[in-house]
Structure 1
Amino acid sequence: MSQFDIPAPEILRARQKLVLDHFHDEVVQQWDDVLSTFPHPHYELIPTLTVHDGDAEVRGYYRDSRVAFPDQDHEIIALRHSADAVIVEFWLLGTHQGPLGGIPPTGRRFRVRMTAYFIFDADENLVCERIYFDSLTMLKQLLGGLNLKNPRSWRTAIRALRGLAALSGEPDQRLLITTPTDLTA
């Protein structure tokens, strides 16, 4: 199959059902069901250059994100198909009730536009969910309510800055080492 061959409609429908089930099961926190959509769970978070690979790492990612945002939800904007992926544009939203890495909970809501690429291999297995979003937009919403003129807010602001620095730790080399695509074929 070449990069220009779009799979048959029944394959696209099966991919779309799998992706929509995946989204639904994430919202209701049915982690075993979400993980069953992959033969090997693999998430790539491009804004933080973070990879969560394998059952244990992905479950840790789910746990940490739901501690931070227990009411995390989404609103799908659009869903598109490509030769090897389902591409979903959506709003991610939730309330910051627990620590996000080292960023202390602010109790503030966020709503951030995202794109996720659900990538399939030649055997129609979901092999990766690759997520793109503007992390600054999220942070502005989470921290935007801090009144820096009030000394009582300073401690939270300092903890948030330290937490932000910790979130931007060492990038995963798997996301940095890429091979240019041959577009002459």
Structure 2
Amino acid sequence: MTVTTDIAQRQERRERLVLDHFADETRQDFDAVLATFAHPRYELIPGGEVLDGRDPVHAYYLQTRRAFPDQRHEIIKLRHTEDAVIVEFWLLGTHRGPLNGLPPTGNAFRCRMIALFIFEGETLVCERVYFDSLTMIRQLLAGVSPEALPQVLSGLLEKVPAQTPAVA
């Protein structure tokens, strides 16, 4: 076997794991999603949030699916690096439940994102997600009356985590 073949096979295995991860998230099979990690870890870059371990990551899945029960992905492109699979995708959903102090608006959103699936060898060690939170918030708040905005935004801003670096 050549080095090129080894690399191609490793990329194929990693890509399959990432695609299964996305499919399991959409199906809301969170045990299967968690099983794609040796130790679940998410880094949500816009808010500086780090979710480290099974319980915090599982709680994140439940919270986001309460807010967006129809959350789904449309993959645009996958790319490989030496230690990661980079996925560019659209995240879509309808705001049907509370989200970090923001009451449900019933609005749909579509936000372009990048997720870095970081590997150590064959082991997924982190999903690091980058997105423009303002794009999402603008879509979720569309149509909210100007009179209601102060109350809605104050609830949302109370939930902003302290700014700590997401990456060590």
For the aligned pair, the TM-score class normalised by the smaller chain equals over 0.9
1:85 alignment counterpart: 84
Distance 1:105 1:166 in 2: 16
Aligned length: 165
- Superposed counterparts of 1:57-76, under 5 Å: 57-76=56-75
Distance 1:174 1:29 in 2: 25
1:98 alignment counterpart: 97
Distance 1:135 1:107 in 2: 18
- Residue 147 of structure 1 aligns to a residue whose secondary structure is coil
Q: Which sections of structure 2, spanning at least 5 residues, go unmatched?
A: none
2:137 alignment counterpart: 139
Distance 1:137 1:79 in 2: 22
- Residue 57 of structure 1 aligns to a residue whose secondary structure is helix
Shift of 1:124: 1.6
Alignment deviations for residues 47-106 of structure 1 (CA, whole Å, 9 cap, x no partner): 010011100000110011001100000100000000000000000000000001100100
- Residue 137 of structure 2 aligns to a residue whose secondary structure is helix
Distance 1:30 1:172 in 2: 30
Does the Cα contact within 8 Å between 2:101 and 2:159 map onto a contact in 1? yes
Shift of 1:174: 4.5
Distance 2:152 2:127 in 1: 28
Q: Which sections of structure 1, spanning at least 5 residues, go unmatched?
A: 149-153, 178-185
1:124 to 122, 147, 151: 122
TM-score by length of 1: 0.85
Does the Cα contact within 8 Å between 1:102 and 1:159 map onto a contact in 2? no
Distance 1:54 1:169 in 2: 18
Pairwise CA RMSD: 1.7
Say if 2:49 is the partner of 1:50: yes
Say if 2:158 is the partner of 1:166: yes
Distance 2:152 2:17 in 1: 37
Does the Cα contact within 8 Å between 1:104 and 1:159 map onto a contact in 2? no
Q: Kindly provide the amino acid, as one letter, of the partner of residue 138 in structure 1.
A: M
* Closer/same/farther in 2, CA of residues 93 and 39 from structure 1, 3 Å limit: same
- Residue 56 of structure 2 aligns to a residue whose secondary structure is helix
Structure possessing the higher radius of gyration over alpha carbons:
1
Distance 2:166 2:134 in 1: 23
